[in-house]
Amino acid sequence: MNRIQLKLLLTIITLVLGISGAMLLVKFKTKAISKPSERKLPNVKVLNTKTSSHTFKIVSQGTALPRTTILLISEVSGKVVSVSDKFNAGKFFQKNDLLLEIDPRDYELSLAQARLKVAQADLRLQMEEKEATVSRKEWKLLNQGEPTGLQAREPQLAEARAALDAAKATEESAQRNLDRCRIRAPFDGMVSKANVRPGQFVSAGIQLGEIFATDVSEVRLPLSTSDLSFINLPKPNELLNIDKAPKVILVNKVGEESQEWIGSIVRSEENVDPINRMVYVVAKVDDPYSLKNNNKAPLRRGTFLKATINGRTAKKIIAIPRTALRGKDRVWIAEDGKLIYRKVKPVYLDENLAIISEGIDSNEQIIVSLLAGVIDGMGIKIED
């Protein structure tokens, strides 16, 4: 076989192989196109909606502090001669209990001297009154008409009366200073700071300690201005019946344990905080240290609390899981086997629920499943 015949044979073989390969490709392509693919519909879980009443729960947090806290300031100078066992940090006391005493001897002397001056001024006034009476009688015996003020010794009488008033005022001042030597409790409470001990000299104006009342604790709770519309707050200067005040549940959780107290919202501070743009309401807790009711745990000063306020009750609203709200104002509705976008109007959101006022009717199916690549109108399959 010559060279030309060999080239011709190779060309024919190449053409035959190319045509056969093309025919096979067309054959398999036709089979692939002719077999349609079936797309699997995503399974979804739904929630059937219904209208109901709902009490709004407003969540906040704050720190429990006594309603009344005062500094004990010495009003006199002297040496501390006694300190009560109750005048120690953490100790309870009752109203009028003697907490400490400053040496009263100098003030007892001042009071005695003041009383002497009162007696002297009173005696002088009595003598002036008698002399004035005698002067009037002598004038009438020797003259006609009424005597002048000077002749009736009225200036001397006025001076004697003023001297007596001044002496009495000095006596009262001396008595007050003597009383100030004994520091008594102005209310039932607890000592938070005790700064003096027996034998210590104190000057007027020095801080002796700090005490607070145990009748009531208060908790300042920050709320956004939008939260206020869901609570029946007392108006400024309104004396609200405690039974009608919004209730608040206060919880302190440490590890796995939690303690709970019930309080009432008694007032709002009205002013908007310029830093955080929040409004503060004040919750009141009676008998925080359980001095009258030993069945509950004490609410100690400085305890950090999570608060849940019972707000207004709304009727004919629909509550859905918070996770069923897509974005700010959309939900997915299951309708005729399709996923439909629906715009809604949420009026309140908390950690678990979204409260919807418009956009959803009763007996509709809200999709609560999480889906990826969602398209409005796409097919779905509802799980049983």
DSSP 126-175: HHHHHHHHHHHHHHHHHSSSPPPTTTTTHHHHHHHHHHHHHHHHHHHHHH
In a domain, 12, yes or no: no
Of 297, 313, 329, which residue constitutes the final position of a domain?
313
Q: Assess whether pLDDT exceeds 90 at residue 352.
A: no
192 contacts 212 by C-beta, under 8 angstroms: yes
**Which range of residues forms the domain containing residue 189?**
70-212
In a domain, 188, yes or no: yes
Q: What's the rounded Cα separation, in Å, for the pair 197 and 185?
A: 17
- Say if residue 182 is in the same domain as residue 261: no
Q: Which CATH number covers residue 267?
A: 2.40.30.170
Q: Assess whether pLDDT exceeds 80 at residue 162.
A: yes
Q: Assess whether pLDDT exceeds 50 at residue 118.
A: yes
- Say if residue 235 is in the same domain as residue 351: no
Mean pLDDT of 307-325: 89
255 contacts 201 by C-beta, under 8 angstroms: no
In a domain, 282, yes or no: yes
Of 212, 234, 251, which residue constitutes the final position of a domain?
212
pTM of the model: 0.73
> At 2, is the pLDDT very low, low, confident or very high (cuts 50, 70, 90)?
low
Q: What is the pLDDT of residues 51-103, one digit of tens each?
A: 888 888 899 999 999 999 999 999 999 999 999 999 999 999 999 999 999 99
How far the first Cα of the chain sits from its last, in Å, is 79
- Say if residue 207 is in the same domain as residue 75: yes
Q: How many CB atoms lie within 10 A of CB 257?
A: 7
- Say if residue 199 is in the same domain as residue 331: no
Mean pLDDT of 256-278: 88
Q: What's the rounded Cα separation, in Å, for the pair 60 and 249?
A: 10
- Taking alpha carbons only, the member of 165, 211, 168 closest to residue 192 is 211
* Structure-token pair, residue 353: 């629920």
In a domain, 10, yes or no: no
Q: What is the pLDDT of residues 19-32, one digit of tens each?
A: 766 676 656 554 44
Comparing 238 with 168, which gets the higher pLDDT? 168
Mean pLDDT of 239-257: 83
Q: What is the pLDDT of residue 272?
A: 85
- Say if residue 367 is in the same domain as residue 269: no
291-300: b (≥16 Cβ within 10 Å) or e = eeeeeeebbe
Distance from the Cα of residue 161 to its chain's centroid? 57
Comparing 357 with 308, which gets the higher pLDDT? 308
- Say if residue 222 is in the same domain as residue 105: no
- Say if residue 219 is in the same domain as residue 347: no
348-376: b (≥16 Cβ within 10 Å) or e = beeeebbbbeebbeeebbbbebeeeeeee
- Say if residue 276 is in the same domain as residue 198: no
- Say if residue 77 is in the same domain as residue 208: yes
List the alpha helices (DSSP H) in 35-153.
105-142
Q: What is the pLDDT of residues 173-201, one digit of tens each?
A: 999 999 999 999 999 999 999 999 999 99
Q: What is the pLDDT of residues 147-156, one digit of tens each?
A: 766 766 788 8
Q: DSSP label at 379?
A: B
55 contacts 310 by C-beta, under 8 angstroms: yes
Q: How many secondary structure helices (H) and strands (E) does the chain include? A: 3, 22
- Say if residue 291 is in the same domain as residue 345: no
Q: Assess whether pLDDT exceeds 50 at residue 17.
A: yes
Q: What is the pLDDT of residue 271?
A: 83
Q: Which CATH number covers residue 196?
A: 2.40.50.100
Q: What is the pLDDT of residue 21?
A: 65
- Say if residue 354 is in the same domain as residue 287: no
In a domain, 369, yes or no: yes
SS3 (DSSP) at 116: helix
Domain count of the fold of the chain: 3
196 contacts 208 by C-beta, under 8 angstroms: yes
Of 194, 212, 230, which residue constitutes the final position of a domain?
212
- Say if residue 122 is in the same domain as residue 136: yes
